[in-house]
Structure 1
Amino acid sequence: MGDKMDSYENNRDLHTSTYKVLDVEPEYPDVHQIGNLFGKHITWEADGWKAIGESYFKSCYIHAGLSGAEETFSGPDAEKLLSDFSINDVTKWKEGKCKHLVSLDEKGYVTNHALFYKDSPTQFRTTAGCSVPYLAAMQTGKYNVQYTTRNIFIFQLSGPTSLTIVEKASQTNLHDVKFLQIVPLRMPGIDADLEFVRIGMSGTLSYEVHGPAEVGPAVYDKLYQIGKPMGMKRMGWKDYTINHTFGGNPQMTVNFESSLYADPQFTATAPFTPNYTGSIDPKNIEARFRTAVECRWDFMARFNHDFLGRAALEAEMASPKRRVVSLVLNPDDIADVIRSQFTDDPYKYIDFPCAEQQPAGGHQDWVCDADGSHIGISANPTYSSHYKVMISHAVIDVDKIEDGREVIIKWGDFGGKIKDIRATIAPFPYIHDVGDNRTFDTSKIASGLDAK
């Protein structure tokens, strides 16, 4: 009975009734926590954050939270448009591959960091980012570019069984798909053209399946029914940011905010308004922003073209001030915060798995050295049930970065009670003892064509 109740195919009325809420996911009876985030209706929590934290080390997770608009820029000047607003070189980028493009403002702060897909020199697509810099440039009339959108699902799968599951669902050998490669995909019983992409933010073997939103529930359920006996877990937005934080991938709205929020007009029309929490004064909006150098993205920069923010980036690369590191929070100090909740004078609560519920890119705390001097800024701490630690992404003065060095995170909200939480600088990214998706040897992964 349980398996039947979990099945989309056996509960089709749940998806066609007037009670349908989720945009591209099946509405399973055992999933009760749904969120309205960024104008999308997505799962908030399904199988629990503890299980999710372990899943991509032992089996696999599936996540739908990045589903939404796929934006297409096409036309003779599409390549020039992206080049003028990206630190990356888009001209030598091979067709049929994807990459993260980084856009800056004049000060060098990141305005957008998103995955783009190159179909041809005259057509690029992007998802789950902020295209305002490109759209604003198009309005000047300087670029012969057309802009279109369609609604798609994006299902992220990560973990050692992810490849086997998709192969079994599609009855296609996908072992040879390389990192960042995009290939067409079909699934028996699904009347739609899909795409399969080798990409992910967890730091280990990861893939994405894309397709038209209307077939999303059927595709999700097909993957889940195959993956469930293999240990697949359903990830929601509550636990989504675990993989980004431990995988060493800073993300807008999670670890920092786009500097476009410095513009009141943008803020007034944005689909999401950040909360500026943490021990840093909420009026200090720039403390919520990051540069490409701070995020360790300067390796993507190519100075064979002009782009917005180039001068600022060049100057910072010549003399870096801060870099992102992993900070491992002291468990005794975390326990003190939790213990204080049973008193009349508690510290700001620490939630799990994210200390401040996501999206929380606006949450930033001061990081100090032993004498109390500010040496950096810490983003939202996040807990891993696999590693049994809570870490944060923190940008620290480069001359203070030393693995094992103890620093202090000023945990709390500006003007309120502050807890000094000891933290230790650790390698970035934190994830270890797993294969890297960029070089993962898929020959060691079981074929889905042989799986029973």
Structure 2
Amino acid sequence: MAAPSLRDGIEQAGSPVRLLWKPNAEPWMPEVVDREYTGWRVEQQTWHDGVTISDLSHHMFDTILEGPDATRLLSAVSANNYEKFAIGQAKQFIPVTERGFIVTDGILLREAEQKYTLSGIPAAQNWVKYHAEKGGYDVSFVTDPSSKFRGGGAPTLFRYQIQGPLAADLVARAFGGPLPETKFFHATPVVLDGRPLRALRHGMAGQSGFEFIGAGADAEAVKSALLRAGEPLGLVHVGAQAYATASIESGWIPSPTPAIYSDPELEDYRGYLPLFGIEGQRPLHGSYFSENIDDYYVTPFELGYGRSVAFNHDFIGRDALQKAKDNTTRTKVTLVFDADDVRSAIGDDFVLSYSRHRVEAGSALVGTTQQSGTLAPAGTILSLAILDTEHAAPGTSVEVVWGDHPGAGTAPDADLGFPRIRATVAPAPFDEHARTAYRSDKRP
């Protein structure tokens, strides 16, 4: 008997929202990585004033695609610019549907002329594989699932991120000197203790840093070398809880709802996807509730990816994105919650949530949160949100309705007695370094 598909799950539940709505769902975190090592608040603070190491080897899927049609395939299914994509460069991968809504992003690294690694949650990877099969492209795929789905064994690739103001000092100690000048989101080949790896200029918390990527068999040896180099600098190991909040400071929304649940032309695609995959199991919850799944979709422009959208080639959703480019009415912001309201309504133990909460001005709905987390250096909860542009100017006062709507059977705008938390609009990224110097071509 065939395993149930996403299409089967939607039909049985009655709608996409009824399938996905799970009030009070816990935020997903990799089970292999400890939740915290020295305390999540200490770990957050240290990437601002010291140096940290994060093990990113376990929470992502990696798909290597290679073949004569690799670039042609990726160009057909995403809005990225492949004319200016150097070997060793990484990009935020932007696949959209015909209506111009994002399928979910990923990190695409060009390894050779016709070889790429696409990393992240597997929704974007599934999209690429489906269109490769449907279009008959001459390309092969090798996928290494996250540790939760691998069923045992070490990851094919390890990833260790070195982050913080002292990152350059640690790197110089580990490698016997500074690494070659490396542009932001570019990788350079390096060798550590005789083991080849790639150093990707990248950082997730608004601080300069490197992500070291190499063969899984070398993971322990490379980590040991980095730990030895960092010990005199007070290197702090970052756990899963703190790391999951880093994207809030850097302005990256990690889990936009894949816009694949309702378009009639994607019926076959929903039959292709498994029910017990990311698209069928990633929960929706929060005080914002709509029976229409389309209300959860977002465009690349709303996510802040406008500069990465290139119209110099034909791709799925190109016409819709061209129309959206000059007609976008929502934008990504950071909300800074009132600390007194947080203590009164939520308490001091809240770490992270991916819930969609209502953001209101007066009694009017003006947007929704996408990810919220306590940031120790800020002294309160910060939330990445998408708001109507007229309410998105820094300094604007809004309120966040905090709670989990029960779902179908209760009116979306029912007064459920949820607390209202005052918040102030701030830029996204929130971190000044991330806004002003994050993409500097100078090494950290």
Q: TM-score, normalised by structure 1?
A: 0.79
Give, in angstroms, the shift of residue 69 of structure 1: 4.6
Deviations 1:233-285 (A, max 9, x none): 11122111222101112212xxx333346676536131572222101226443
Tell me which residue corresponds to 2:133: 139
| TM-fit CA distance, 1:319 | 0.8
| Counterpart residue number, 1:414 | 405
Q: Aligned to 2:161, which of 152, 156, 164?
A: 156
Alignment partner of 1:224 is 2:227: yes
Aligned counterparts, 1:379-418, within 5 A: 379-415=370-406, 416-418=416-418
The Cα of 1:155 is off from its aligned counterpart by: 0.9
Q: Is the 8 A contact 2:345 2:421 kept in 1?
A: no
1:93 matched to 2:94? The reply is: no
Distance 1:364 1:390 in 2: 15
2:200 counterpart of 1:197 = yes
Equivalent AA in structure 1 for residue 228 of structure 2: Q
Structure 1 pair 258/141, CA: closer, same or farther in 2 (3 Å)?
closer
8 A contact 1:383–1:390 mirrored in 2: yes
Matching residue of 2:9: none
Letter in 1 for 2:426: A
Contact in 2 for aligned 1:95/1:120 (Cα 8 Å) = yes
Q: CA deviation at 1:327?
A: 0.9
Separation (CA, whole Å) in 2 of partners of 1:427 and 1:54:
20
Q: Select 1:165's aligned residue among 160, 167, 170.
A: 170
RMSD of Structure 2 on Structure 1 (CA): 2.5
Could you tell me how far apart the structure 1 residues matched to 2:373 and 2:366 are? 21
Q: Relative to structure 1, is the Cα distance of residues 213 and 69 closer, same or farther in structure 2, using a 3 angstrom cutoff?
A: farther
Matched length = 387
CA separation in 1, counterparts of 2:76 and 2:129?
Answer: 12
CA gap of 1:92–1:65, structure 2 versus 1, over 3 A, is: closer
1:364 is the counterpart of 2:356 = yes
- Map 1:235-250 to 2 at 5 A: 235-250=238-253
Distance 2:290 2:236 in 1: 37
Pick from 49, 66, 72 the counterpart of residue 58 of structure 1: 49
Per-residue CA deviations over 1:40-97 (Å, capped at 9, x if unaligned) read 6223222211111111111121111344553221111111111111111112211221
Q: Secondary structure at the match of 1:41?
A: coil
Q: Which runs of 5+ in 2 are unaligned?
A: 1-25, 145-155, 263-268, 407-415
Question: Could you tell me whether the CA contact under 8 Å between 2:88 and 2:110 is conserved in 1?
Answer: yes
Question: What is the CA distance between 1:110 and its match in structure 2?
Answer: 1.4
Q: Is the 8 A contact 2:395 2:426 kept in 1?
A: yes
Q: Residue 89 of structure 1 contacts residue 301 of structure 1 at CA under 8 Å; is this kept in 2?
A: yes
Q: Distance in 2 between matches of 1:376 and 1:387?
A: 23
Q: Which amino acid aligns with 1:289?
A: Y
Identity among equivalent positions (%) equals 24
1:153 CA displacement? 0.8
Using the size of structure 2 for normalisation, the TM-score is: 0.80
Residues 245 and 196 of structure 1: CA distance in aligned 2, closer, same or farther (over 3 Å): same
Question: 1: distance between equivalents of 2:309 and 2:243?
Answer: 28
Q: Distance in 2 between matches of 1:147 and 1:267?
A: 18
> What is the distance in 2 between the residues matched to 1:176 and 1:309?
37
What is the match of residue 353 of structure 1? Answer: 351
Aligned to 2:75: 83
Where relative contact order (Cα < 8 A, 6+ residues apart) is larger, the structure is 2
